Amino acid sequence: MDITVNGKTVRVAAETIAAYIHHIGLNSKTLVVEYNGRVIASESWADTRLCSGDRLELLSFVGGG
């Protein structure tokens, strides 16, 4: 299926947000996910199914000083 991730259309086989994040290798501890316009708590990623046309914004926080 095709979804939009950070403004780019990508083809994914993952069925959930958690599976997609695992597949692309992002650190879930420093990640915020916006799903179709609303922020999704990390506890819900495994239960949130992806559908064709969905939009994800993935924001990763980096520490520094």
* Bridge partners, 7 (sequence order): none
Digit-by-digit pLDDT tens for the chain (65 residues) are 999 999 999 999 999 999 999 999 998 899 999 999 999 999 999 999 999 999 999 998 776 66
pTM for this entry: 0.90
Number of C-beta neighbours around residue 17 at 10 A: 23
Predicted pLDDT of residue 65:
61
Residue with tokens 């179709």, as numbered in its chain: 36
All structural domains of the chain with their residue ranges: 2-60
Architecture of domain 2-60: Roll (3.10)
4 residue type, one letter: T
